[in-house]
Amino acid sequence: MSEVTVLKIGGSVLTDRSKERTLKLREINRIAKEIASVGVRDLIIVHGAGSFGHPQAKRFDLDVPGKCSYETIIIHNVVKELNRIFIEKLAENGMLVVPVHPLNCTISREGRLENMMTDQIRLMLKNDIVPVFHGDVIMDRIWGRAILSGDQIVAHIAKCLNAGRVGIGTNVDGIMDGKKVMDVITPEEFCGVKKLLKGSKDVDVTGGMASKANELFKLAEEGISSHVFNASKKGLVINFLSGERNFGTIIRGD
């Protein structure tokens, strides 16, 4: 395992999903401060789109296969807007951060991320730069374009860089079995847990917790564990980055 840490902050943590293009500015500030305060090296950040992508993509039917169009660019631009704001806050807190837009460096095949340029990411880490990815709309070899979730990015980059730590900060306490948070999920339990999981109650073009867990289960099958936790709760991003594991759900890959 390398020292690389991949941290995703979900769009529901950074934005208000009930209103289109609405930020949770206080939360963005808090999360940026928390990340910066720990000063983890070899960190890759990924964030979701929230209300800066999901409702717009739904409106233009971008969740079904189709050709690249003007609407595709609108979605890319709106999620880039969120990326710029988040990056600005991270930079204000002293971090050396750069945006990485998946549209420019990844390709999918029928909605599955197939290829991503990673040499520049490795060099960024070597130079103490923190790349900040986001869910995006990207070029698809078969469909023309596809929506790429931040969770697919997390799983792909974690695998490519053999990440030592993978964290998914959401607005729920972890993977739930009814009202109870599951502390640990082992590979033997993946099948059973899949049956428990649902999509999202908000407009969600990437499938909510069910598809998030799916990505993480696949990652676990590659031997990489991940940690789903509530980033809307103060201090938990700090705790994750500091190496604490006694909260949320650990999806065991070993």
Residues that bind ligand IPE (CB under 6 A): 10-12, 48-50, 53-54, 57, 75, 79, 135-137, 147, 149-151, 205-206
On whether the CB atoms of residues 210 and 193 are closer than 8 A, the answer is no
Beta bridge partners of 130: 97
- Whichever of 79 and 132 has its CB closer to ligand IPE, that residue is 79
Name the minimum Å distance from CB 173 to ligand IPE.
Answer: 16
Name the minimum Å distance from CB 220 to ligand IPE.
Answer: 19
Which alpha helices (DSSP H) does 149-235 contain, by range? 150-160, 190-196, 208-221
- Whichever of 180 and 228 has its CB closer to ligand IPE, that residue is 228
- Whichever of 26 and 180 has its CB closer to ligand IPE, that residue is 26
Name the minimum Å distance from CB 163 to ligand IPE.
Answer: 17
- Whichever of 139 and 187 has its CB closer to ligand IPE, that residue is 139
Name the minimum Å distance from CB 9 to ligand IPE.
Answer: 8
How far is Cα 182 from Cα 173, in angstroms, rounded to an integer? 9
Give the contacts of 81 (CB within 8 A, at least 6 positions apart). 21, 52
- Whichever of 83 and 225 has its CB closer to ligand IPE, that residue is 83
Name the minimum Å distance from CB 10 to ligand IPE.
Answer: 4
DSSP letter for each residue of 72-136: HHHHHHHHHHHHHHHHHHHHHTT--EEE--GGGTEEEETTEEEEE--HHHHHHHHTT-EEEEE-E
* Location of structure tokens 């073009």: 205
Name the minimum Å distance from CB 58 to ligand IPE.
Answer: 9
How far is Cα 155 from Cα 218, in angstroms, rounded to an integer? 8
Please name the amino acid found at residue 158: A
Q: What is the dihedral of CA 250, 251, 253, 254, to 10 degrees?
A: 40
Q: For ligand IPE, which residue has the nearest CB?
A: 48
How far is Cα 161 from Cα 138, in angstroms, rounded to an integer? 21
- Whichever of 58 and 189 has its CB closer to ligand IPE, that residue is 58
* Location of structure tokens 């690389």: 4
